[in-house]
Amino acid sequence: MLNDGDGDLSLSTKKPAGSLVAPEAPTAKRLRSERTVSSRAVADTASEALLSLPLPEWLPKDAWVDFVNFRLQNGKGSKNLTLRAAELAIKKLANLRAQGNDPVAVIENSIVSGWTGLFPVKERGGLSRPFQPAKRIQGRPTVTAHGRR
């Protein structure tokens, strides 16, 4: 309360010159926003590092970019793609290639299947017996090559 000179007391909302103003307390929303921005910056930096890894000549850049983006979007917790994990993934692709697997097919198979790992591509969907279409015998119900109806 201040005396305005007439003897009346009034409340003043003016702050005296040179007074320090306490910083605004952080709100939960603002903290979440700042955390999201900083985590995006970290993710962008990590993504750039993963995409700038030197690739072997047999591994197309677009297939690698697809794999990295898939892992960054779908990897949570221990499944995150780190720089070391990316190096090991390239090494694994080299081993699978030496076994006769096409690296692009391995990557595409992992993405389509929702796998974060890299696995050999199985022939014909991994069936133990080759697929044979059903045979039609006149006058009888359809019987498959394996004797099932």
89-100: average pLDDT: 96
15 domain residue, yes or no: no
Query: Where does 18-134 have alpha helices with state H?
Result: 28-51, 61-74, 83-98, 103-113
147 domain residue, yes or no: no
131 domain residue, yes or no: no
Number of domains in the chain: 1
22 domain residue, yes or no: no
Bigger pLDDT: 137 or 67? 67
Q: Does residue 134 have a pLDDT over 50?
A: yes
63 domain residue, yes or no: yes
56 domain residue, yes or no: yes
46 domain residue, yes or no: yes
Check residue 127 and give its pLDDT. 45
72 domain residue, yes or no: yes
Query: Where does 10-55 have alpha helices with state H?
Result: 28-51
Q: Domain containing 79: what range?
A: 32-121
